[in-house]
Amino acid sequence: MTESAGPSSSGRPLAILVPGVIVGAALGAALAFAFEGGIERRLDDLADRLAALQQPMRTTGEAVGGLAARLDRLEGLAQRPPAAAPALAASGPAPAAPVRLDDECRAGRQRLEEVESLLADAAAPSLAPWEAGRLLSAAAGTLSALEARLYRYGGCLAGEIADARDRIQVGRIAARRLALAPVRATLAADEAIDPARLARDAMAALAAARVGLSRAEAAAGQSEPDAEMRALERRLEDAFGRWNREQQRRYDVWALERARALGEWAQRNISDIPLRGAGKAEISAKLVEQLGPVEPRQLGPAVQAVHGELFQRFWRELGEEQRIQMVADLVAAPKRLPAEM
């Protein structure tokens, strides 16, 4: 009983154990397969990423290699001596200085002929001084440009250039003297005021003299006036001042005479007008007749005050309508200006 019970009890555990082992082995194999597959996929993914990272590195390496090759080639070309240098060093440049000098001197003689032509035109007696001055200035400019161009070649045409420059200076002195002659004549005539001469004629002559003085400066080729020119300018300004004062004096005297005549008429007639029946129209007409040609804004202060008081005296004798009409007639009356004195 003991022997039969032993085999049967030991067989049951074995029967239970064998299926468990089989299941465990199968589960282990499945896990192992799954683990190996995941690793392979991860390795494939890492390989793809590594290839993607290596591609730019290969491209950059190739570009760097290409640049290095180009730099090496350029350095080789820079270090290589030029092929034509030995030949130039052996033969040397052709001597061009004598040919250059001859060409420049030949061209300079042609420019000197242009200067001579300008000098001949400036010496024509029919030219005005300022016109001759313009031609002389053109000749001086041409000569200066020629002298600067030939300066590097030593004494080429030095004598001819100096002679032309002297002739230009002589021409300028002559043109200045001719231009100043009418200026001096005008100043001599206006040293004293001529009572018979119109102020506007004297002022016009002085304005022409001022223009002549400016042209004389241009004819002489002067950028700044010298002592003689400045003295003539001061004399012109003094003459202008004298005639301005004389013009104003003449205008004030003329306006004052008209005011005096009107005042004397008022003293004789204003009190008798109502008795004679002339009325206020005669007062207005007389005021316009005497003061209408006078421009009050051109009067000196004293004479202007006299006219104002006389106007107020006549103003008080008129009614409102007569006042308006009188002012309208005064404004419309033709005026005489100081320039006409």
Model confidence over 136-181: pLDDT tens digits? 888 888 888 877 777 766 567 778 888 888 888 888 888 888 888 8
Q: What does the pLDDT read at residue 11?
A: 47
CB 180 within 8 A of CB 212: yes
Q: Examine residue 274 and state whether it is found in any structural domain, yes or no.
A: yes
What's the number of domains the chain is made of? Answer: 2
Q: Examine residue 42 and state whether it is found in any structural domain, yes or no.
A: no
- Put simply, whether the predicted model's pTM sits higher than 0.85 gets the answer no
CA atoms within 13 A on the CB side of 19: 4
Residue 217 shares a structural domain with residue 104: yes
Residue 123 shares a structural domain with residue 184: yes
Question: CB 12: neighbour CB atoms within 10 A?
Answer: 9
Amino acid identity of residue 304, one-letter, is Q
Beta bridge partners of 294: 336
Higher-pLDDT residue of 15, 191: 191
What mean pLDDT comes out for the span 214-232? 76
Taking the C-alpha atoms of residue 291 and residue 256, their distance in angstroms, rounded to an integer, is 10
Range from 114-128, 152-166, 200-214 carrying the lowest mean pLDDT: 152-166
Give 74's contacts (C-beta < 8 A, 6+ positions apart).
Answer: none
CB 311 within 8 A of CB 263: no
Taking the C-alpha atoms of residue 331 and residue 334, their distance in angstroms, rounded to an integer, is 8
Residue 220 shares a structural domain with residue 103: yes
Per-chain mean pLDDT for the chain: 74
Residue 108 shares a structural domain with residue 220: yes
Tell which residue, 121, 140, 148, has the closest CA to residue 132.
Answer: 121
Q: Examine residue 66 and state whether it is found in any structural domain, yes or no.
A: no
Residue 109 shares a structural domain with residue 153: yes
Residue 254 shares a structural domain with residue 296: yes
What mean pLDDT comes out for the span 305-324? 88
Residue 207 shares a structural domain with residue 262: no
Question: CB 176: neighbour CB atoms within 10 A?
Answer: 23
Taking the C-alpha atoms of residue 329 and residue 288, their distance in angstroms, rounded to an integer, is 7
Tell me the three state secondary structure of residue 336: strand
Residue 253 shares a structural domain with residue 212: no
Of 167, 190, 224, which residue is a domain's last? 224
| pLDDT tens per residue, range 244-296 | 999 999 999 999 999 999 989 888 877 665 544 456 788 888 899 999 999 99
Residue 216 shares a structural domain with residue 270: no
Q: Examine residue 287 and state whether it is found in any structural domain, yes or no.
A: yes
Quote the domain boundaries for residue 269. 247-340
Residue 266 shares a structural domain with residue 174: no
Q: Examine residue 239 and state whether it is found in any structural domain, yes or no.
A: no
Of 224, 239, 259, which residue is a domain's last? 224
Taking the C-alpha atoms of residue 314 and residue 327, their distance in angstroms, rounded to an integer, is 12
Taking the C-alpha atoms of residue 165 and residue 143, their distance in angstroms, rounded to an integer, is 8
Residue 198 shares a structural domain with residue 106: yes
Q: Examine residue 41 and state whether it is found in any structural domain, yes or no.
A: no
Q: Examine residue 60 and state whether it is found in any structural domain, yes or no.
A: no
Residue 105 shares a structural domain with residue 217: yes
Taking the C-alpha atoms of residue 133 and residue 334, their distance in angstroms, rounded to an integer, is 46
Indicate whether 231 pLDDT > 80.
Answer: yes
Taking the C-alpha atoms of residue 47 and residue 40, their distance in angstroms, rounded to an integer, is 10
Percent of the residues in the chain that have a pLDDT greater than 70, as a whole number: 64
Indicate whether 129 pLDDT > 80.
Answer: no
Q: Examine residue 173 and state whether it is found in any structural domain, yes or no.
A: yes
- Phi-psi sector, 92: left (phi>0), alpha (psi -120 to 50), beta: left
Residue 194 is classified by DSSP as -
- Within the chain, residue ranges assigned H as helices are 2-79, 85-91, 97-122, 129-150, 158-189, 199-219, 227-269, 273-276, 280-291, 301-316, 320-332
